[in-house]
Amino acid sequence: MPSLIIRNADWIVTQNQERDVLRNSSIFIRDGIIREIGKTGSSSADVEIDAKGKIVLPGLINAHTHLSMTLFRGFADDMQLQDWLQKKIWPLEAKLTDEACYLGALLGSAEMIMSGTTSFVDMYFHMEHVAKAVAESGLRGFLSYGVIDLFDPAKAKSEQDNTRKFFDYVQKLDNSRIKFALGPHAPYTCSAEMLLWAKNFAEKNRAILHIHIAETRREQADFQKQHGMRVVEYLDKIGALSKNMLAAHCVWLTKSEVGLLAKAGVGVAHCPVSNMKLASGGVAPLPEMFESGIAVGLGTDGASSNNTLDMFETMKVCALLHKAHRWDPTILNAQKTLDLATIEGARALGVEDEIGSVEVGKRADIILLNSKAPNLAPLHGKDTVISDMVYSASSANVDTTIVDGHVLMQNREIRTFSLEKTLSETQEMALRLVGA
């Protein structure tokens, strides 16, 4: 694998412990690992990227999505959640095929590469075909098969088989960028036995356990009625919490539930755009999560409830939402917001030693933004670069996307697969699915 130098970047936003922002610096990469950072003007490499006029960031981490649902983008909006699921999404999902999920995942991968995301956590169906697309794209994916047993032991058995089958598939794939994850859908769709089985499987295989928790108030009300306790209290009581758990949403939590998650080492995937669009009500208690030490990442959720996979948009909306909600413009500043999309996201996934920052020894998951755009001008200096990345940058400023030292996009041209072919094939597939 060719070595790579990113030469003379105007700014490198490292997201290291000190949150250093470097001026006019270079990055040398060999075997997918960052080897040197600094004034390495004289080093040479097999491949050179001229980063003059560019701003370098760690690749963004999307901590929660359903990639193949990109096929449903824009198909059903402005609806009540239950109508949306029952009348629109579930009937479409029943028609999904291997091929549809492959194409949807490839389309979503294109969008992520072009908007600066390098790693993501997925939960869906037909996961072998999602894995195939993601491997082709070059992205780093933590992929889970979405398990729903509806408290039926027979269904539980077949869902465990499906999970094991996907696990075996990923082992055989032997692609270091494709990681298997557990995917019990939610505490209201999976039995306690299933949640514990998944927990053990995750611990044994050092895998993420991805799950939806407390997205709606109704979920909490139902748990209170059925179990006489709140969702997280229930998960704690049955022993289902663990440090492998990455819990999406976590909107409707009490402070005491936040404490339980923190104690167990659970990570959270906060999805502000999806929560707002579906009008779930409430706002995830991020300041309380920070205070308790929970690692919080940011997710877009699926394109059918967002409707993009754009992490730059998600960062900005996240900061806006919490400032507005708490009447306090300082509650979530630009640096902290960028942290959520990078190093804190990595911590939520338990992979902060590998990705999430531009540091020597880490995997080379890196994006370059072209600063010669009106929305990034003027650039007042080192103290404002982070703010520019969160409040002013657009995903369209991303010029180059690198994962594991592989250049997936340069000059906004995707290199690993044909965007044009993907667009035309997904368009055809989408129309076939909706029967248009």
Binding to a second copy in span 310-339, by CB under 8 A: 310, 313, 316-317, 319-321, 323-324, 326-331, 333-334
Tell me the C-alpha distance between 2 and 162, whole Å.
Answer: 38
Which stretch of DSSP H or E encloses residue 248?
strand 245-249
Place of tokens 């003007």: 41
Place of tokens 């997936």: 408
Using CB under 8 A as the binding rule, the residues of this chain from 173 to 212 that contact a second copy are: none
Structure tokens at 200: 């053990």
H, E, C per residue of 397-413:
HEEEEEECCEEEEECCE
Interface with a second copy (CB under 8 A), residue total 75
| 3-state SS assignment for residue 244 | coil
Place of tokens 């055809």: 428
Using CB under 8 A as the binding rule, the residues of this chain from 78 to 107 that contact a second copy are: 78-81, 84, 107
Which stretch of DSSP H or E encloses residue 47?
strand 47-50
Using CB under 8 A as the binding rule, the residues of this chain from 114 to 173 that contact a second copy are: 114-115
The span of 133-141, 159-167, 231-239, 273-281 binding a second copy (CB under 8 A) equals 273-281
Q: Does residue 111 touch a second copy according to CB under 8 A?
A: yes
x/- letters, 399..428, toward a second copy (CB under 8 A): --------------------xx-xx--xx-
Using CB under 8 A as the binding rule, the residues of this chain from 207 to 266 that contact a second copy are: none
> Residue 34 or 321: which CB sits closer to a second copy?
321
Tell me the C-alpha distance between 166 and 180, whole Å.
Answer: 8
- What beta strand segments (E) does 284-371 contain? 296-298, 366-370
Place of tokens 């610096």: 25
> Residue 218 or 227: which CB sits closer to a second copy?
218
Structure tokens at 102: 């492959």
Shortest Å, Cβ 197 to a second copy:
35
Q: Select the residue interacting with a second copy from 1, 150, 279, 360 (CB under 8 A).
A: 279
Query: Is the alpha carbon torsion for 191, 96, 178, 403 positive or negative?
Result: negative
Using CB under 8 A as the binding rule, the residues of this chain from 53 to 82 that contact a second copy are: 71, 73-75, 77-81
x/- letters, 365..404, toward a second copy (CB under 8 A): -------xxxx-xxxxx--x--xx--xx-xxx--------
Shortest Å, Cβ 100 to a second copy:
11
Shortest Å, Cβ 10 to a second copy:
11
